[in-house]
Amino acid sequence: MQQILTAQAAEGMVLAKDVLTPEGRVLCGKGTELTQALIERLLKMEMVNITVEGHPVVVAGEKSLKEELQDIDLRFSRVEKITPLMYLKKIIKEKLVASRG
């Protein structure tokens, strides 16, 4: 899942979280597929950010999933014989992959 600016949204993206009004009312539910009309409506309502499934928007300077996984391997390279830390490394990598969709 990735939080993006509503202006970065594109048709076909799917909401990963509900879009709420400042009062807490649900405008669009999780799982809603974005259409151009819906994006325009959200922009008119001044909804600045939305959270979408996957990681569809590349941000300048942001590392790719592969690069982040390599960084984790490097960080844990000194403790490869310590089983609890290897388990922690595995969990961190799984969570990172899951968060990227």
Q: Across the chain, what does the average pLDDT equal? A: 91
Predicted confidence band of residue 56 (pLDDT cuts 50, 70, 90): confident
User: What does the pLDDT read at residue 92?
Assistant: 97
User: What does the pLDDT read at residue 98?
Assistant: 86
Would the pLDDT of 7 be above 70? yes
User: What does the pLDDT read at residue 83?
Assistant: 95
Predicted confidence band of residue 6 (pLDDT cuts 50, 70, 90): very high
Helix and strand counts by DSSP (H, E) for the chain: 3, 4
Burial of residue 84 (number of CB atoms within 10 Å: 0-12, 13-18, 19+): exposed
